[in-house]
Every structure is written in structure tokens, then in C-alpha cells.
Amino acid sequence: MSMNRKPARKKKPEPEPGPLRKPRSVLFVTVAAFLLPGAGQVLNGASIRGVIMQFSMVFFGFITWQLSDPSISIPGRLAGGLLVYVFSIVDAHGIAKRRVRAWERMEAGLPPVPARGMRQPWRGLA
């Protein structure tokens, strides 16, 4: 019997890194996250994370709305979604700060040191 083997795939050459883009300002990203949940993550280059934030905000808001008593206030009934909303603003602000810090280090000729909880803050700057 002969074994049919697939030919090994050739690795695509990595594209040459272009000039680095300066990250968006922390204030701009934070305001965008405040106005539209998940927009701050999208502006930081984590679009999937932003979409997850939006869906989880709607999901948890719906769950708390369904499980709460009708006599509870509107913010109380939407507490799950509001919690994710606040978390998304804080998350987008923190990531934007880390990206700006990494950019400043790279501009000074230093290696971009990953901040706590973020492996590659410089990802997406190129």
C-alpha cells in the first residue's frame, strides 16, 4: 500500500513592518467607550473583544431584566448590563494607556515592556 501524503505547506513570508502608527489618545478612546460600549476596544485594535463586550452587555442586561421584580428601578433591572458597560469603559481606558506607554517607550528606543495583564500592548501599532 502506498501512503498518500500531502505536500508540506510553504509558510507565507511575513510582511515587512511598515512605519509605526501612533495609538489614539487615551481621552478619545475613553470617550468613545463611554458613548458606545465596545467602541473603545475596537479603537484599541481588539474588535472581537469589543463585540463580545456589546453582546455580553445586552445578554446580562436582558437576564437581570427578566429575573428582577417589576417594582425595582430601571437601573436596578439593567444592573448586569450596566456592570459590563462600566467594565468596558475601564478596560478600554486601561488598554489605551498601556498602548500609549508602549508607544512612548518605542519612540525612546526602549523595548515595549508588556504591562501587567497584557502580552503585547504594541500589537496593532504597525
Q: Tell me if 96 is assigned to some domain.
A: yes
The set of residues, in sequence order, having a beta carbon less than 8 Å from that of 53 and lying 6+ positions away, is 37, 38, 41, 84, 87, 88, 91
pLDDT at 125 > cutoff 60: no
Q: Tell me if 38 is assigned to some domain.
A: yes
The whole-angstrom separation of Cα 98 and Cα 93 is 9
pLDDT digits (tens, 9 = 90+) for 47-99: 888 899 899 999 999 999 988 888 888 888 888 889 999 999 999 999 899 88
pLDDT of residue 11: 74
The set of residues, in sequence order, having a beta carbon less than 8 Å from that of 122 and lying 6+ positions away, is 99, 102, 103, 106, 112
Q: Tell me if 37 is assigned to some domain.
A: yes
Single-letter residue type at 1: M
Q: Look at the chain and report how many structural domains it folds into.
A: 1
Q: Tell me if 73 is assigned to some domain.
A: yes
CB atoms within 10 A of CB 53: 25
Q: Tell me if 72 is assigned to some domain.
A: yes
Strand boundaries in the chain, DSSP class E: none
Q: Tell me if 114 is assigned to some domain.
A: no
Q: Tell me if 5 is assigned to some domain.
A: no
Is the CB of residue 40 less than 8 Å from the CB of residue 29? yes
**What rounded mean pLDDT belongs to the chain?**
80
pLDDT of residue 30: 92
Domain hosting 98: range is 26-107
* The overall pTM is greater than 0.85: no
Q: Tell me if 1 is assigned to some domain.
A: no
